[in-house]
Structure 1
Amino acid sequence: MRVVRETDSVLSEWREQALRFEREIARVVLGQQRVIRLLTIATFARGHVLLEGDVGVGKTTLLRALARAIGGSFERIEGTIDLMPADLIYHAHLGEDGKPRIDPGPLLRQGEDLSVFFFNEINRARPQVHSLLLRLMAERSVSAFNRDYHFPHVQVFADRNRVEREETFELPAAARDRFLMEVQVAMPADEAARRSLVFDTRFHNVDALLTEVKHGGLDPATLETIARAIQSGVRTSETLETYTLALWEAIRAPRAFGIAIDGVDMDRLVHGGASPRGMSYLIRAARVRAWLEGRDMVVPEDLRAVFPEVMAHRIFIDPVYELRREGIVGELIARVFERVPAP
């Protein structure tokens, strides 16, 4: 295996920028090193991300810090039960002269320069809004005013809290599949981080805190070129590909691999594993992870490092187990890693 050389063209220089990008975010978001690494992987894989976690754990702060560190044009919208698709496209109001006016909404305000679109509390929005977001994520375009608007560099980040269930709408499977990752944001485990978040007044004013993040460390247009270079420059061996296909088959047919979970009928648990698109997302993320680790070849550790976040929401299970989904799917993935031997 060849370690990426310091002189290895532009990728080496950009790897250093990516690591600086992580450090910038970590300065204002404490105790979330793994989450920050996953968001960095998604950024350089050019994939959309959904964050999920309890109220007040810093999901919005994390995404605002990430948007500032990336740079480019940034827009956000708050999910509400009365939000309609048109609210993303335009804003109708009365001007100072009393005449009706129509201004561009958050999707169109920055034109094709839109780089980061942040949807806060996405599960509060109606399915009609989810449909519009799905097209934006899948095609990087929307239709409005008898024309198509294209956003060649847009990356969608969204968050939802899992505490409140009233006046919320679950994302359809098709929409969730468009997210490269679903990332769980938990309370920081480190006691020092918890102490700082509670007692250090620096973390009590989020707006002032975010000014500490260097703005525009990454160029959105160049990111697309670097992302393609990473995918073509980081290789997978035939052995690794065989291992990946075995993981895929084990997720789809766990009973055939001798996988058992207490209290679960394994014959009916999995209705569908990941699609080929989902598996391609897994490899895309694994290549970026290998690059960040300074390698030009994917190893099993790269797959396992991103597997839960890339694959868990693409495993469709029997509705009878849905309320226990997080624990069951987490255990299923752990058992798959145990049963499928790594090369």
Structure 2
Amino acid sequence: MAVDPGWLAAQREQALAMEREIARVVVGQARAIRLVNIAVFARGHVLLQGDVGVGKTTLLRAFARVVGGAFARVEGTIDLMPADLLYHTHITAEGRPAVDAGPLIAHGPELAVFFFNEINRARPQVHSLLLRAMAERSVSAFNREIALPHLLVFADRNRVEREETFELAVAARDRFLMEVTLDTPASAAEREALVFEPRFHDTDALVDTLPAGLVSHRELGALSAALQNYIQASPALRRYALALWRATERPAESGVRLAQADAPDLSQLVLAGASPRGMSMLLRAARVAAWLDGRDHLVPEDLQAVFHEVLAHRLVLQPVYELRRAALVPALTAAILQAVPAP
């Protein structure tokens, strides 16, 4: 089916307007806002990283408001069970037991953003239910199938504490389109604004200043499919993407070098490179990046702009190097982009 370039251009202006509006309430996070915007229009789930209080929840609530739809949140705890996402049991005012819909299904098909705070505090059984919802955008509850057609899942991990936590399995991490990091703003002016301007101290009032439904959550699926078909990749760009893929699997054979003095032998570093799904996600995100920059075709910079966020969490290191993952993987993805020649 042919795609109307004029319609895509108009939708792009709305997408950029979303970024500008969100930047008013989430300061100092321009790159994170762009990456989450890419994920929204690529219809991909996001794993967030960042210390407590850097604005992760505010960012997600802001996106939920500008795309419309409902926002739901759950806190990961050691005693959280899969049923807790689907059912809420309580005693009514009349003293009778009752069962209502849980946070994942309470809003029905209107749920747009679901935020799982500290996902690694929840048990693997909870992860399994969430992964089904992420992959199929549906769950079974109350003896029926409940569709969640507009669902985008955002989750963050507790990076500080290790007791009573369950790290996400490789297959679980692979379901997330991106892992995006939010750092404390470095600018002195931004830090001063966050501390001294009262408007940043009331998240509810701050988010309410955003226009609702700049882009309808009900139209995102069709829009995403249209731009994926519209943005083209040249033969040279395809060869470049495949070369990047090979470099994630066999970095030493691809001429990748790490600059650290204590760098490991690259022929022994990677246990598994990017998966086919990971590479398809890379191209999916890159097409959205190209669209946001006003192009109808991919260039190497589009892949490079999202390469680390899409692929880093999918790379599996040999067990002996996993404890050094936070230092080695960013260095590895940067070295791959440097080593693989771009067309």
TM-score range, shorter chain: over 0.9
Q: Aligned match of 2:92 in 95, 98, 103?
A: 95
| Counterpart for residue 211 of structure 1 | 208
Indicate the RMSD between aligned Cα atoms, in angstroms. 1.3
1:103 Cα deviation (Å)?
0.7
Structure 1 letter corresponding to 2:313: H
Q: Which residue of 2 is the match for residue 283 of structure 1?
A: 283
The normalised TM-score by structure 1 is 0.95
Match of 1:170 in 2: 167
Partner residue in 2 for 1:303 = 303
Instruction: Find the aligned partners of 1:145 and 1:200 in 2 and give their Cα distance.
Output: 47
Q: SS state of the match for residue 108, structure 1?
A: coil
- The yes-or-no answer on 1:254 pairing with 2:277 is no
Please tell me the residue identity of whatever aligns with 1:332: L
Percent sequence identity is 61
Is the CA contact 1:15–1:291 (under 8 Å) kept in the aligned structure 2? Answer: yes
Q: Is structure 2 residue 158 aligned with structure 1 residue 141? A: no
Residue of structure 1 equivalent to 2:158: 161
Residue number in structure 1 paired with 2:293: 293
Tell me which of 194, 197, 201 is aligned to 2:191.
Answer: 194
SS at match of 1:31: coil
The one-letter code matched in structure 1 to 2:335 is: R
How much does 1:166 deviate? 2.3
Higher alpha-carbon deviation: 98-107 or 163-172:
163-172
**1:189-227 Cα distance to aligned partner (Å, 9 max, x none):** 222111111222221122221111212222111111110
The answer (yes or no) to whether the contact 2:61–2:71 under 8 Å persists in 1 is no
1:322 aligns with 322
Task: Give the counterpart letter for 2:304 in structure 1.
Answer: R
Indicate yes or no: 2:40 matched with 1:43: yes
How far off is 1:97 after superposition?
Answer: 1.3
Which runs of structure 2 are paired with 1:236-275 in the superposition (5 Å)? Answer: 236-261=233-258, 262=260, 263=262, 264-275=264-275
148-157 or 269-278: bigger deviation: 148-157
Deviation at 1:124, TM superposition (A): 1.4
How far is 1:38 from its partner? Answer: 0.3
Aligned partners of 2:124, 2:243: CA distance in 1, in Å? 36
Q: How many Å separate the matches in 1 of 2:153 and 2:220?
A: 15
SS state at 1:298 partner: coil
- TM-score w.r.t. the length of structure 2 is 0.95
Q: Secondary structure at the match of 1:244?
A: helix
Q: Shift of the alpha carbon at 1:160?
A: 2.1
Asked whether the 8 Å contact 1:55–1:163 carries over to 2, the reply is no
In structure 1, the residue matched to 2:8 is 11
Q: Give unmatched runs, 5+ long, in structure 1.
A: 1-6
With 10-19 and 154-163 compared, the bigger mean Cα shift is at 154-163
Task: Measure how far apart 1:334 and its partner are.
Answer: 1.4
CA-to-partner distance for each residue in 1:242-298, whole Å, 9 max, x for gaps? 000001101110111232334212121000001111100000000000000000000
Contact 2:86 2:105 in 1 (8 A): yes
8 Å CA contact retained: 1:114, 1:153 = yes
Query: What's the secondary structure of 1:215's corresponding residue?
Result: coil
